[in-house]
Amino acid sequence: MELAPQADVFVRERGFSCHASGTQTLFKVVGVSDMALWNAKKETFQEIPPAKVKKRITGKGSATKTEVADALSAFVGAFLYASNDESDAVAIGVAWL
pLDDT digits (tens, 9 = 90+) for 35-51: 887 778 777 677 889 99
User: Would 87 be classed as within a structural domain?
Assistant: yes
pLDDT tens digit sequence for 39-96? 787 776 778 899 999 999 999 999 999 999 999 999 999 999 999 989 999 999 999 8
Nearest to 48 by CA among 7, 9, 8: 9
Average pLDDT, the chain: 82
Give the domain extent around 64: 10-96
Whole-angstrom distance, CA of residue 85 vs CA of residue 78 = 17
Instruction: Tell whether pTM > 0.85.
Output: no
Residue 1 lies in a domain: no
Number of folded domains that form the chain? 1
In a domain, 37, yes or no: yes
In a domain, 18, yes or no: yes
H and E: helices and strands count for the chain? 5, 2
Backbone CA torsion sign across 67, 69, 72, 78: negative
Is position 48 within any domain?
Answer: yes
Report the CATH number at residue 67: 3.30.420.10
How far apart CA 84 and CA 70 sit, in angstroms, is 11
Spacing of C-alpha 44 from chain mean position: 15
> Quick one: pLDDT at residue 15?
64
For residue 34, name the pLDDT band (cuts at 50, 70, 90): confident
